[in-house]
A = this chain, B = another copy of it.
Amino acid sequence: MRDETAAKPGRKPRIEDVAALAGTSPMTVSRALRGEGRVSPETLARIHAAVEALGYVPNLSASSLASRRSGILAVLVPTIGNSVFSETVRGVADAAEAAGLHLLIGDYAYSDDKRRQLVRALVGRRPDALVLVGAVQDEAARTLLRQHDDIPVVETWELSDDPVDMAVGFSNFSAGAEVARHLVGGGRRRCAFVGSAESRAAARLAGFTAALAEAGAAPPETETPADLSIEAGRVSLDRLLARAPDLDGVFFATDVMAVGGLLECQRRSIDVPGRIAIVGLGDLEIGRQLRPALTTVRIPAYEMGRRAGELILARLGKGAPPREGRIIDLGFSLVRRQSS
């Protein structure tokens, strides 16, 4: 199968083999390799030589079991395919790396069922901590996580008033409301929302709707495409215009879809922001670069992951002490550009 000549003859070396070759005990090898406790320089040198000679790589399943610390940071995301979520994962990864934790990723493909299964599966790995994109809605999952209350849990991208443990996010409701006020403030009277099936989009719509009502504007038209593509944004804009030709403001739940709306207006020679204002969410680079540049809600995607990681390190005693409580609102900001 693979180059047999390069392979060592026997089975994989264990700590005992290293100890034997270095003329010491497994215990001392264990200490030396973890950099814990005092080990004499000579012993240390012999151990390192033995490790090198044998090509020894400690079995982390065994060390996890014995030490009751897995060194694993589990992350649960709706999909790794969405770049805003991968920004959050990068934030978590950066914090994890600083503490020498490995990232175990669960992608639940937006399926509630898969998410439930994944929570169980990940808990089975006894991770040192768990970060979720999104709040834990599911009662069974909440119970499970409460039961395993030695695992720090951070929910991100959403701020419930009752997180399982900790939360780092922003108010999707407020973001929607701010966009509505911005549009109405710019004289828009007939607005629409293009969202998705997830709870975060629903919260944005709720805030959007509430603020429109408060300002005396009509309730929003809505579109809920099956995916979050540029094409979905284009098609949604077409549909909305067919239903409500007098539309003058559209809030897309993601920048990707908003770019679709922008491009569709360009193709149909619809004046933006003259006739229609367009607002997105996420502050992707493409929105900044297009003309008219896209007005958007900037979300602290990377920062949420990073702070989630820091909260965890603090809890594990590996980082700075926590600066705030268990719920951190990182806020958002409306970035006014040319499209509104």
Residues of A within 8 A of B (CB): 1-3, 6-8, 12, 55, 57-62, 64-65, 70, 72, 79-81, 83, 86-87, 89-90, 93, 102-107, 120-126, 143-144, 146-149, 164-165, 229-231, 234, 259-260, 263, 266-267, 285-286, 289-291
Closest CB of chain B to A229's CB: distance in Å? 6
Residue of A7, A57, A149, A267 contacting most chain B CB atoms (<10 Å): A57
Cβ-neighbour of A230 out of B123, B146, B234, B289 (below 8 A): B289
Cβ-neighbour of A1 out of B1, B149, B234 (below 8 A): B149
Cβ-neighbour of A125 out of B2, B102, B107, B146 (below 8 A): B102
A selection of 6 A-B contacts at a CB cut-off of 8 Å is: A1-B149, A55-B147, A62-B65, A80-B86, A103-B107, A104-B105
Docked-complex contact B123 and A231, CB < 8 angstroms: no
A5: nearest chain-B partner, CB-CB: B146
Chain B residues near A83 (CB, 8 Å)?
Answer: 81, 83, 86
Docked-complex contact A65 and B55, CB < 8 angstroms: no
Given contacts A6-B147, A93-B105, A103-B106, could you give 13 more A-B pairs where the C-beta distance is less than 8 Å? Answer: A1-B149, A8-B147, A12-B147, A55-B143, A57-B148, A58-B124, A59-B126, A60-B124, A61-B65, A61-B70, A61-B125, A230-B285, A231-B285
Docked-complex contact B86 and A90, CB < 8 angstroms: no
Chain B residues near A120 (CB, 8 Å)?
Answer: 57
Chain B residues near A126 (CB, 8 Å)?
Answer: 59-61
CA distance A123 to B102 in the complex (A): 12
Closest CB of chain B to A165's CB: distance in Å? 6
Closest CB of chain B to A150's CB: distance in Å? 8
Docked-complex contact A89 and B80, CB < 8 angstroms: yes
Docked-complex contact A230 and B286, CB < 8 angstroms: yes
CA distance A230 to B293 in the complex (A): 14
CA distance A80 to B291 in the complex (A): 28
Docked-complex contact B103 and A7, CB < 8 angstroms: no
CA distance A165 to B263 in the complex (A): 46
Chain B residues near A104 (CB, 8 Å)?
Answer: 72, 102-105
Chain B residues near A123 (CB, 8 Å)?
Answer: 57
Cβ-neighbour of A93 out of B107, B266, B291 (below 8 A): B107
Closest CB of chain B to A141's CB: distance in Å? 12
A12: nearest chain-B partner, CB-CB: B148
